Amino acid sequence: MPSVLGAERTFREQKMSSHHQSRLPLQALLLALMLIPPLSVVAAIPWLRQQPDGMVFLLTGAASALTIVASFALAILHDRKMDEWQRTNARFSSQWGWAAGAGLVGLLLALPPFRELIVSAVANLAEVQNPDQKLVTLAFTFGFMAVVAAQGLCTVVASIGWTFWKSRPARDPS
């Protein structure tokens, strides 16, 4: 009997290995789709400066959407390989990590050196000699608040959706 169990285990390991190998090209493609669009936008900044605002928003929005979709797909593939301990780690880190990161940025915005860093980065990117510091800081702060508010809203909607989906009545098997 040990030879049958050993053969079954070997078959299962080979099947898992070939399944893992078949995912590698897909994972590489998704990783490329996560990295190439934002890097392309950064590389194209000199060209984007000369384009109308509508074109800039369209291209950066498309790059953002492609990056987000690819990252979701890669996360789903990664999640399928995780055990319960790893899923608990991912749940804990995503729940508390984004909240801690948002809080950290909020605290950093209170520090003048951080605000000056933001203003100088914007001045360099926009090629503006003396941008209005108050306007740049306010725009950055409102953008940051919009991201945090959107994350909070999406968390609430996802929670309601998950509760609704899991609370639905069981289907009749017949």
**pTM confidence score:** 0.61
| pLDDT value of position 19 | 53
The string of pLDDT tens digits covering residues 100-147 is: 988 899 899 999 999 999 999 989 888 888 899 899 999 999 999 998
Those residues of the chain that have pLDDT short of 50 are: none
CA 81 to chain centroid, in Å, comes to 19
Tokens of 39: 């890097």
What amino acid is encoded at 103 in this protein? G
3-state secondary structure of 25: helix
| pLDDT value of position 29 | 92
